[in-house]
Amino acid sequence: MDHCYDLHSHSTASDGRLAPAALVRRAAAHGVTALALTDHDTVTGLPEASAEAERIGMRLISGAELSAAWEGRSLHVVGLGIDPEHPRLRDGLERLQALRRERAERMDRRLGQKRIHGVLEEARALAGDAMVTRTHFARVLMRRGYGSSLDHVFRHFLRRGKPGYVKTEWPVLAEAVDWIRAAGGVAVLAHPLAYGLTRTWLRRICTAFAEMGGRGVEVVTGTSGANAVESAAALARRSGLAASVGSDFHDPEMPWVELGRLRPLPPDLVPVWQLL
Ligand code: AMP
Ligand code: MN
Ligand code: MN
Ligand code: MN
């Protein structure tokens, strides 16, 4: 049987719209044979996802997408095949979640200064037991009529320099890589082309990432066109990083990204699943 890997996805444990079990079922329905659940800075969705994957006979890879900083820039690192209970990783995730709670409160105060009140309270209600992400803020602002799409709200309210933006001092990249490795996982630089960085910067980051123990870079994401795949593949070749593929699926109502709908990897690259 042909394998279909999707190594980047989100559930309601962070800013995804589907509960972990529903995400697993949707992945299977779209032909995915191995799914990584990689919620932002949390592993709380993994038990439910694993149980459902086992029930339906699909492979579930334990993952998380960690927020990190490198030379003043925010980056995302996907950890694949992690032991979610490893104490070093657990401590790291606690630190990230504390930063997120502080950030949410500061964002709320900043928006309050612009007479946009009570957003955090509504965002918490949306998130339920899960943590509040910027996506929850964006959904509340959208619901209140501040924009017609999440992208619009992000661009006008939540990006650097906008009323709801606050700077966060994420742990440095090497720490995030360490936690993932300590937990037995493979560290992958997520969506390299999504940071708005120049080619020169991306090359430097990939080289540094490989030196600190990073093993892969995402070459194919759910929104990658052919040119994007080629650009990211060039980064992988140059830095000797393995190549990952992941849709970064969040929401069934955003049909332009679908679980398992991914371009093929260029055949000369080492697929990251060979390291798992
Ligand atoms: P956070 O990790 O809380 O800072 O939120 C980052 C998340 O916001 C990303 O993982 C995306 O899911 C979402 N996001 C960021 N920028 C945009 C955008 N322009 N449009 C829609 N969603 C976005
Ligand atoms: Mn997200
Ligand atoms: Mn990301
Ligand atoms: Mn993601």
Ligand 1: which atom is nearest the Cα of residue 151?
20
User: Which tokens is 89 given?
Assistant: 């990783």
- Residue 70 Cβ contacting ligand 1 at under 6 Å: no
To the nearest 10 degrees (0 to 180), the angle between helices 20-29 and 46-56 is 40
CATH number of domain containing 249: 3.20.20.140
Residue nearest to atom 23 of ligand 1 (CA): 151
Distance 207 CA to ligand 3 centre (A): 20
pTM for the model? 0.98
pLDDT above 70 (res 1): no
* Residue 204 CA to ligand 4 centre (angstroms): 22
Which runs of consecutive H residues, i.e. helices, occur in 81-188? 87-113, 119-127, 134-143, 150-153, 173-182
Nearest partner of 261 among 212, 214, 226, 222, judged by Cα: 222
Same domain, 269 and 176: yes
> Does some domain include residue 45?
yes
Within-domain flag for 65: yes
- Tokens found for residue 40: 């932002």
pLDDT category of residue 2 using cuts at 50, 70 and 90: confident
12 in the same domain as 62: yes
DSSP tag of 266: P
Is residue 154 within 6 Å of ligand 1 at its C-beta?
A: yes
pLDDT, tens only, 91-109: 999 999 999 999 999 999 9
* Token code pair at residue 168: 């966060």
Residue pLDDT, tens place only, 45-95: 999 999 999 999 999 999 999 999 999 999 999 999 999 999 999 999 999
Q: Which own/partner pairs from 118-122 qualify as long-range (CB within 8 Å, at least 24 positions apart)?
A: 119/164
* Banded model confidence at residue 28, pLDDT cuts 50, 70, 90: very high
**Structural domain range at position 198:** 5-92+172-275
Average pLDDT, whole number, for the chain?
A: 98
Q: How many domains does the chain have?
A: 2
- Residue 41 sits in the same domain as residue 120: no
| Distance separating alpha carbons of residues 92 and 175, to the nearest angstrom | 8
pLDDT in tens, 147-176: 999 999 999 999 999 999 999 999 999 999
pLDDT in tens, 223-270: 999 999 999 999 999 999 999 999 999 999 999 999 999 999 999 999
Task: Report the length, in residues, of the chain.
Answer: 276
Using DSSP bridges, classify how beta strands 5-6 and 59-70 pair: parallel, antiparallel or unpaired.
Answer: unpaired
